[in-house]
Chain A
Amino acid sequence: MWKWLHPYAKADRAYQLCNTLLPYFAVITVVCMLVGWVWGLAYAPADYQQKDSYRIIFIHVPSAILSMGAYSSMAIAAVIALVWQLRNAELAVIAIAPVGACVTAIALITGAAWGKPMWGAWWVWDARLTSELILLFLYLGVLSLYHAFEDKKAAGRAASILAIVGVINLPIIHFSVEWWNTLHQGATITKFDTKAIDSSMFWPLMVNIVAFAGFVGTVTLMRLKNEILQREKHRPWVRQLLNRG
């Protein structure tokens, strides 16, 4: 039943799969990003308490969700890399990490720019903020660990192990606003039964979440292609790519 998966363990098949998926991700990203930003900035109503400053939510929440989503995907790839020894999974770990780090940085920066007008401080050593900062360091740790090894097989294994250990941080980030007294406001959209957000703000937020997910997917695919090419540099199938232009 799972036999169809096997060929994708081969580098050239995985490369082709990335190529096939890439345009779909790119189109979704461009469309949703345009719609989401214009809708969020110009058409969504102002918040009754936070006025127009709340519009930062349209990039803050998506980037925060994706910072954790990207980490989960990276950890899943790391488990696959360690258990089934698939090199493509190792490459996926390294392809996701920089994208995840960027998204986490966006979440932190937009959070600071929202915190200043609302709380009066760019940064506080609050549970949510601190655990998100640790997430950024985990991404950077995975990357630097990978690049610290000359032997890429050992590098992939070490980076994968760190990625898996770091998963402990995800529930801490998620529940930090419930476990500790915090300045950070509670969840906006996880309470599906009692929606904490009006639908006139909910839908543009959804579009922006899809846009960020699309962006992470697009750039991860691009970077995975690069990692595969880099590793397979001397193989004939990479040579053939040159002739195709």
Chain B
Amino acid sequence: MQFDSFSDFIAMGGYGFYVWLSFGTCALILLGILVSSLNDTKRIMASVQQQADREARIQQAKQEQQL
């Protein structure tokens, strides 16, 4: 460990603002693209499900008509 205390670690020898600004924005951007990619998967699969449900309903309606 290079730092004697936690507050020393946060201070980064006076450069705390710049170091934490860099690491903070980096983490935010990485998380941002990760979450947005996960959301895309969910959205696409939801629309596939929706389409499947719709087709099932149409099928069912057709069968009911025939009866």
B is bound to A = yes
Q: Which residues of A does B touch, CB under 8 Å?
A: 37, 41-46, 51-53, 55-56, 59-60, 63, 98-99, 102, 105-106, 109-110, 113-114, 116-117, 215, 219, 222-223, 225-226, 229-230, 233-234, 238-239, 241-242
Against A, the Cβ 8 Å flags (1 = close, 0 = not) of B1-32 are: 11100000100111100110111011001101
Contact of A106 among B9, B13, B26, B45 (CB under 8 A): B26
| Contact A55-B12, Cβ < 8 Å, known A114-B22, A239-B52 | yes
Q: Does the CB pair A55–B19 fall under 8 Å?
A: yes
Chain B interface size band reads 20 to 34
Interfacial chain B residues near A233, Cβ < 8 Å: 44, 47-48, 51
Tell me the bound Cα distance from A175 to B3 in angstroms: 37
Tell me the bound Cα distance from A63 to B30 in angstroms: 11
Contact of A42 among B2, B13, B37, B51 (CB under 8 A): B2
Q: Does the CB pair B15–A226 fall under 8 Å?
A: no
Q: Chain B contact residues: over half helix, strand or loop, or mixed? A: helix
Q: Which residue of B lies closest to A234 (CB)?
A: B51
Q: Does the CB pair B29–A226 fall under 8 Å?
A: no
Q: Does the CB pair A45–B2 fall under 8 Å?
A: yes
Tell me the bound Cα distance from A75 to B42 in angstroms: 29
Closest 5 CB pairs of A and B: A53-B15, A52-B13, A110-B22, A52-B12, A113-B22
In this assembly, does B34 line the interface, its C-beta being within 8 Å of a C-beta of chain A?
yes
Complex A-B: 27 CB contacts under 8 Å: A42-B9, A45-B2, A46-B2, A52-B19, A53-B12, A53-B13, A53-B19, A55-B12, A55-B19, A59-B23, A63-B26, A98-B33, A99-B33, A102-B32, A109-B25, A110-B26, A113-B19, A116-B18, A117-B15, A219-B34, A222-B37, A229-B41, A229-B44, A229-B48, A233-B44, A233-B48, A239-B52
Min C-beta distance of A29 to chain B, whole Å: 10
Q: Does the CB pair A242–B49 fall under 8 Å?
A: yes
